[in-house]
Amino acid sequence: MQNRITLNLKTLIDNEKPHFLLAVSGGIDSMVLLNFFQKNHESFKFSVAHINHNYHSDSKKMENLVKNQCVKMNSDLIIENIFLKEVNSNIESNFRKMRYSKLEEVRKRIKADFILTAHHADDQVETILMKILNSSGVEGLQGLRKLNQNIIRPMYNISKREISEYASLNNVKFIDDPTNCDDLFTRNFLRMNVIPELKKIKNDIHIPFNNFTDRIDEVHDLITFNVQNFCNSDSYIVNENTIEINKSEFYNLPFLVQLRIISNLCLNAKNSFSKTDIREIKDLFQKKSFRFFESSK
């Protein structure tokens, strides 16, 4: 497992000596990631961030566990707190947004190059199932990306079983987040009730899901290739204040390529069209009522 984490990091980044910011909650996954880095501290420059959600009774215990482990091994630690008041819906999603926002603030403050999270192969299974249930498009079906801007998930191809075995062999201390047992959260429901049934069919269920994300990545590469070809052609002309698009050539493109071109024009890298936006855009394209500045041939 340790060799795979090292290989994943080398494969995902070119930087010879990056500064990593480890997101450590105190749960088994992130404490195993912390243990790996502390054991290999001579090979990596890293700091640790703990984001206390202040949401459950063990929040302070988890913070203290991370703090004690960092003091013991002389690891740099930054602790931040978030509070989610008067929110009764999408709690998991809101916490995630706030957590990543805090992590990015810390990353910039300490001038780290990348944020590392402890998401693993079983997390990917849960995420893809959730995306399917939410009728996500091709973009969403990528699930948890190995490298997403400055966020790296070096345990993306390591199973929960392997993490548990590592924790046992290396006496890694951790605290189970009590909210992980609340199956009112969709992710927990899938983990506790659906995935065990799937494992009766295929025990290593994470393997076909990892293969699925590889195929989705290939689709994205194909879309990107076609977008670049179109944007480098005479059908796409960039002027000082306008962009001229050849309408007939544009309408001959597959819809996902059309959508990516419009997305690149209208949105920044951190945003995406909603499902409603996509339905309306597709309807607009089908009617061929979209107005362009058409290039003269």
pLDDT in tens, 24-33: 999 999 999 9
What pLDDT, on the 0 to 100 scale, is given for residue 297?
A: 41
Q: What percent of the chain has pLDDT over 70?
A: 91
pLDDT in tens, 9-48: 999 987 778 999 999 999 999 999 999 999 999 999 999 9
Domain-ending residue, one of 163, 189, 206: 206
In a domain, 214, yes or no: no
Q: Which residues are within 8 A (CB) of 148 and not within 5 positions of it... i.e. 6 or more apart?
A: none
What pLDDT, on the 0 to 100 scale, is given for residue 275?
A: 66
Domain-ending residue, one of 206, 225, 249: 206
Q: What is the mean pLDDT of residues 69-81?
A: 96
In a domain, 35, yes or no: yes
What pLDDT, on the 0 to 100 scale, is given for residue 247?
A: 85
Residue 150 has pLDDT above 70, yes or no: yes
Alpha helix ranges (H) inside the chain:
2-12, 28-39, 59-72, 91-110, 121-133, 160-169, 186-189, 195-201, 206-231, 247-251, 255-266, 275-287
**Can you give the CATH number for the domain in which 120 is found?**
3.40.50.620
User: 3-class SS at 182?
Assistant: coil
Residue 69 has pLDDT above 90, yes or no: yes
Q: What is the mean pLDDT of residues 175-195?
A: 89
Residue 270 has pLDDT above 60, yes or no: no
What pLDDT, on the 0 to 100 scale, is given for residue 295?
A: 44
In a domain, 190, yes or no: yes
What pLDDT, on the 0 to 100 scale, is given for residue 285?
A: 72
d(CA 72, CA 118): 21
* Residue at token pair 């215990």: 61
Looking at the fold, whether 239 and 283 belong to one and the same domain comes out as yes
In a domain, 27, yes or no: yes
Q: In the beta sheet, which residues pair with residue 243?
A: 238
What pLDDT, on the 0 to 100 scale, is given for residue 90?
A: 73
Looking at the fold, whether 135 and 251 belong to one and the same domain comes out as no
Quote the mean pLDDT of the chain: 89
Looking at the fold, whether 13 and 52 belong to one and the same domain comes out as yes
Residue 26 belongs to domain spanning: 2-206
Looking at the fold, whether 199 and 259 belong to one and the same domain comes out as no
In a domain, 294, yes or no: no
What pLDDT, on the 0 to 100 scale, is given for residue 136?
A: 86
In a domain, 48, yes or no: yes
Closest Cα to residue 68, out of 50, 45, 41, 94? 50
Q: Is residue 173 within 8 Å of 37, Cβ to Cβ? A: no
In a domain, 292, yes or no: no
The whole-model pTM stands at: 0.83
In a domain, 212, yes or no: no
- The larger pLDDT score, comparing residue 159 to residue 275, is at 159
Looking at the fold, whether 240 and 136 belong to one and the same domain comes out as no
Looking at the fold, whether 272 and 189 belong to one and the same domain comes out as no
Domain-ending residue, one of 189, 206, 223: 206
Looking at the fold, whether 46 and 81 belong to one and the same domain comes out as yes
Domains in the chain, number: 2
Looking at the fold, whether 71 and 143 belong to one and the same domain comes out as yes
Looking at the fold, whether 266 and 178 belong to one and the same domain comes out as no
Residue 290 has pLDDT above 80, yes or no: no
Q: What is the mean pLDDT of residues 122-142?
A: 91
Highest mean pLDDT among 74-88, 158-172, 233-247: 158-172
Looking at the fold, whether 187 and 237 belong to one and the same domain comes out as no
Looking at the fold, whether 113 and 21 belong to one and the same domain comes out as yes
Residue 89 has pLDDT above 70, yes or no: no
Looking at the fold, whether 62 and 179 belong to one and the same domain comes out as yes
